[in-house]
Structure 1
Amino acid sequence: MIWLAFVLLHAWLGIIGLTAPTLPWGDVTQVYREWIESGLNGYWVGIDGPFVYPLLALLPMIAAMGLGPSLYGIGWLLLVVIANAAVLAFILNSRATSAPSAEVTADDAAGFTPDIRFVAAWWWLGFLLLLGPVALGRIDTFEVALVIVGLLLAIRRPAVSGVLLALAMWVKVWPAALIVAVVIAVKRRLAVAIGAAVAAVGVAVIGLLLGAGANLFSFVSQQTGRGLQVEAPISLPWMWMAYFGVPGSKVYYDQDILTFQVKGDGGSVADFLTTPLLAIAVVVVLALAIWVVRSGATTTRVLPALSLALVTALIVFNKVGSPQFMLWISAPIILGIVWQGRRFGAFAVIAAVLGALTQIIYPYLYDWLLSLDPVMLIVLTARNVLVIVLFALAVRSLFRARVRAPGEVPAPVESVVL
């Protein structure tokens, strides 16, 4: 039954992505395809010139050309189906998800059921449906697949976990934070670090041998010119200022970055502050995690909340906001469901709502948002506030994972049964 749902889901999202007039897979069928066609003609982004993504992002883009440029979108869909099928098979059949780890405490085990892997798998498929065609139509699909498996293997196969997370980092940068999270949370942290280092250095060496030179790290400089993107949580005040006609506030299209941004009084200050605020948020979360781990908390209590806190921090404090960012949240949610069962139910419900709100915004009514329709601004505000709430709840959950001193009264546990 679940595999039939998997096939129907991917067929449905693929059809919408490839045929909807709003071009939800435009990045794939236009931008990605043009990059690869340029490479086949002698100029490779990331090697011969700068690239907005790390080098491994080229691999699925190249593979999608296997059916030819006219069927590039179909080729992409087939690759996504293969990647997601591998993830689903892993969730349903791997020893890492079929039984609680030896590190699961008796308290955690109370929320674990033998069929929890099916709950996690069904939640994932439901989340993809709620998020819509963007869930399959961006490069993020592939690094998220690597992250899901990498996190689930953190305890049983820490070196493999490190390798997978490092490979994901070379598709998009954000999984680098999860490498640090796993190193902090697991007992065999040296194995994680070595696995990640070997994989990361290996990709870098291959890139240099291909002649990438400084272009190997051009994705860093390519992001510095971005302004406040319309969907980012930090952009909300300026979106509303533009709606109310505050002088100097407006939505505009950046021809260099190829994205819609917003500006207005104080926007340049917010733009400047986002990077240090993001760095501070990540450092604070990691410092909290170290303190919690040193108190004696187990990996199964720490890593799901820590991963979710880091991922949501990367969204909340980021001047870039894209619908596919919501896909990142699915990895720590799946980890939390598998390792903590119904204890992670509240997070799973909130993430599902975030997916649904995001699909309303993109791709169907995105033009309404850009024209500052008040209903769409309310939807965007609700979505972004809910991301902030999810971040706060994840940090609280991480704090509560600490092992309390004798005599300390534990805080009540709040959960939503899946």
Structure 2
Amino acid sequence: MRVLWAAFLAAHLLVAWWGWVLPSQPMGDVVLVYQPWSAAALNGGAVVGITTTWVYPQLALVPMLLAQLFAVPFTSVMGGDGAYLIGWAILVTVCDLFGFAALVGRGRTRRRRTAGWMWTAALVLLGPIAMYRIDAITVPLAIVGGLWLAQRPRVGAALLTIGAWIKIWPAAIVLAAIADGRRAWSTAVTAASVTAVIMLVLVLLGADRALFGFLTEQTGRGLQIEAVAATPFLWLAMVGIASIDYSFDILTYQITAPGAEVVAALLTPLMGVVVLGILVVAVLRARHGVLWQRMLPALAMAVVVALIVTNKVGSPQFQTWLFAPAILWIVFDRPRAQLPSALVLLLCALTFTIYPLTYDGLLQAEAFPVLLITARNAVLVILLFHAVRSVVHAPVSPHLTRTR
């Protein structure tokens, strides 16, 4: 166990250091947007999500403010930007260590040790983007919340809901838990109650008009170059039919080409249809008495991957969303977790080669990075297919089979 804990901590140190030395500023969001947002809130300026609309749910500001606190001891030596980067890396590491403790504990079970090694490997294979984005804060919340759905469903649902108010994606695991049918009512009531409390506090703080800004601010996005649906346009960009342009409004690179806007507009309703379809299949399977341990991790993976595959944004940090479902799959159903875990690790490695290692070439639509991202996006589709198939074929409880 000491080796596992040491490897997990060493992975954070390595990945944090990579953020400083690798190209394309993989920690850029931390100092370019997180630090100014949190500094403005502390210094009497605009409070994002409260006084102005924001692209993130309001609780995302909390870790950004905490990073300011962790940065204080380093300010005199490193300056503002450097200190904040260190503070952010420390905050992510501390959060992950708490999550890791809940996952592996004293390492008494092989499946939890395996899950711990998987998390460690995923961090290293994904690289600095695994730490230097707000998504990193939600990973341990989603892992612990998902694990506790089994024995402490109310606490697990509460943690997942809090995570969703930092970055929306943990709500996918809540939906999966409700559709799975085991303690669905308790999970749903807890999630709704936590959401109601958070919304009440935000309204009292003055966020009435900006309350749902994280939803409305996303509607104007175009098709981001890393999105799965952007893959054909990248090949067209190689021959000059499409182009890659920078959007100063949302600070990202997007596709400009005939049909790109139509594709972007169709993806959001498609996402709703696909996710709803997966959940309906899961509800039908649950009504037939399917084993929840077999279906929950596969269903969580299916919904999370669907959010990525049908997204008009394809940011590399989205791969961190896969950590929690993969870990849940190992803990709850280890014999059948090998393929999805291997696919997640492959996705991490491919994403690392794209961002930050060959990202400059991707912006120029060069063949090698376009081929890499095509492979990455294809693996995402394969993982979605496998997860949905696992939901469909999850076995019925032997007890229910005998009583029929």
Among 199, 208, 212, the alignment partner of 2:203 is 208
Corresponding residue number in structure 2 for 1:6: 8
Letter of the 1:30 counterpart: L
Contact 1:161/1:195 (<8 A) preserved = no
Which deviates further from its counterpart, 202-211 or 127-136?
202-211
C-alpha distance 195-404 of structure 1, shift in aligned 2 (>3 A): closer
Corresponding residue number in structure 1 for 2:394: 401
Contact 1:50/1:219 (<8 A) preserved = yes
Contact 1:124/1:330 (<8 A) preserved = yes
Letter of the 1:15 counterpart: W
Letter of the 2:314 counterpart: G
Letter of the 1:257 counterpart: I
Corresponding residue number in structure 1 for 2:243: 250
Corresponding residue number in structure 2 for 1:101: none
The answer to whether 1:55 aligns with 2:58 is yes
Contact 2:139/2:324 (<8 A) preserved = yes
Give the Cα separation in 2 of the matches to 1:18 and 1:212: 36
Give the Cα separation in 2 of the matches to 1:274 and 1:20: 33
Which deviates further from its counterpart, 35-44 or 226-235?
35-44
How far 1:223 moved relative to its partner?
A: 0.6
The answer to whether 1:282 aligns with 2:292 is no
Give the Cα separation in 1 of the matches to 2:131 and 2:90: 10
Give the Cα separation in 2 of the matches to 1:18 and 1:48: 33
* Unmatched 5+ stretches in structure 1: 99-113, 409-418
The answer to whether 1:29 aligns with 2:52 is no
* Unmatched 5+ stretches in structure 2: 73-79
- So what's the TM-score if we normalise by structure 2? 0.93
Matched residue SS, 1:61: helix
Contact 1:154/1:186 (<8 A) preserved = no
The answer to whether 1:373 aligns with 2:372 is no
Letter of the 1:133 counterpart: P
Give the Cα separation in 2 of the matches to 1:404 and 1:271: 42
How far 1:187 moved relative to its partner?
A: 2.2
Which deviates further from its counterpart, 182-191 or 378-387?
182-191
Q: How does 1:188-337 map to 2 (within 5 A)?
A: 188-246=183-241, 249-337=242-330
Among 377, 383, 392, the alignment partner of 1:390 is 383
* Overall identity of the aligned pairs, in %: 40
How far 1:34 moved relative to its partner?
A: 0.8
Give the Cα separation in 2 of the matches to 1:54 and 1:331: 20
Among 63, 85, 89, the alignment partner of 1:73 is 85
Corresponding residue number in structure 2 for 1:411: none
Cα distance per residue 1:255-292 (max 9 Å; x no partner) = 10110001212112111110111110001000010111
The answer to whether 1:83 aligns with 2:95 is yes
Q: Let me know the Cα RMSD of the aligned residues.
A: 1.7
Report the count of equivalent residues. Answer: 388
The answer to whether 1:139 aligns with 2:134 is yes
Matched residue SS, 1:252: strand
Which deviates further from its counterpart, 189-198 or 138-147?
189-198
Matched residue SS, 2:166: coil
List structure 1 segments (4+ residues) > 4 angstroms apart after TM superposition: none
Corresponding residue number in structure 1 for 2:76: none
How far 1:36 moved relative to its partner?
A: 1.2
Letter of the 2:198 counterpart: V
Contact 2:104/2:116 (<8 A) preserved = yes
How far 1:402 moved relative to its partner?
A: 4.3
Give the Cα separation in 2 of the matches to 1:92 and 1:236: 38
Give the Cα separation in 1 of the matches to 2:23 and 2:309: 30
Among 2, 14, 17, the alignment partner of 1:15 is 17
Matched residue SS, 1:228: coil
Corresponding residue number in structure 2 for 1:152: 147
How far 1:404 moved relative to its partner?
A: 9.6
Which deviates further from its counterpart, 396-405 or 35-44?
396-405
How far 1:18 moved relative to its partner?
A: 2.9
Matched residue SS, 1:329: helix
Contact 2:126/2:351 (<8 A) preserved = yes
Contact 2:347/2:376 (<8 A) preserved = yes
Letter of the 1:386 counterpart: V
Contact 2:12/2:123 (<8 A) preserved = no
Matched residue SS, 1:324: helix
Give the Cα separation in 1 of the matches to 2:43 and 2:145: 35
Q: How does 1:36-47 map to 2 (within 5 A)?
A: 36-42=38-44, 43-47=46-50
Give the Cα separation in 2 of the matches to 1:295 and 1:190: 18
How far 1:185 moved relative to its partner?
A: 1.4
How far 1:186 moved relative to its partner?
A: 4.2
Among 157, 161, 167, the alignment partner of 2:156 is 161
Which deviates further from its counterpart, 363-372 or 189-198?
189-198
C-alpha distance 21-270 of structure 1, shift in aligned 2 (>3 A): closer
Matched residue SS, 1:214: coil
- So what's the TM-score if we normalise by structure 1? 0.90
Cα distance per residue 1:57-77 (max 9 Å; x no partner) = 001100101124341011111
Give the Cα separation in 1 of the matches to 2:193 and 2:30: 30
Corresponding residue number in structure 2 for 1:415: none
